Amino acid sequence: MIENKNFAQRLKLIRSTLGFKQKDFAQKLQVSGPTLSEIEKGKYKPGHDFFYNIATEFKVNLYYLIFGEGDMFLDPTNALLNSSDEFVVNRKEVNDFLWFFKKSKIIQYLILGHFRTIMLQEKDAIEKEINEESN
């Protein structure tokens, strides 16, 4: 799993958390694919427009992105709702799930309990899948 050591790694982690491939994420942020690749490698520093776009499009917490402190998103469920179009199947169900998850503490408790169980049982396979998809 990627550690939150520097800006480039945090940006890549944000992209993978949102479920985007580099090309699609770059398009949403209005930068070229090669530019995003250079930013994620730490070879290029983005400008004001990049930060504005990532904050408004995905509700990324800029303090987290720049300094590595705080939550990744200002409102994690809103960030997922914004990216729900990227889910290939069951978009309505994904939106319904995210809405209920945001609103209901019972749903949060139950889902997070199941999530913990799945992560303990399938952590290696899940991380492998995420790493393959983010490349």
Using one digit for the tens of pLDDT, what is the confidence trace for 7-33?
Answer: 999 999 999 888 889 999 999 999 999
CATH number of the domain residue 30 falls in? 1.10.260.40
Span 88-120, pLDDT tens digits: 566 677 777 877 887 888 988 899 899 889 989
Q: Does 112 fall in a domain?
A: no
Q: Does 133 fall in a domain?
A: no
CB 58 within 8 A of CB 18: yes
What is the C-alpha to C-alpha distance for residues 107 and 113, in angstroms, rounded to an integer? 10
Task: Using a cut of 0.95, tell me whether the model's pTM lies above it.
Answer: no
Lowest mean pLDDT among 7-11, 42-46, 71-75: 71-75
Q: Which amino acid is at 3?
A: E
Q: Does 135 fall in a domain?
A: no
Q: Does 27 fall in a domain?
A: yes
Domain residue limits at 17: 7-103
The tally of domains found in the chain comes to: 1
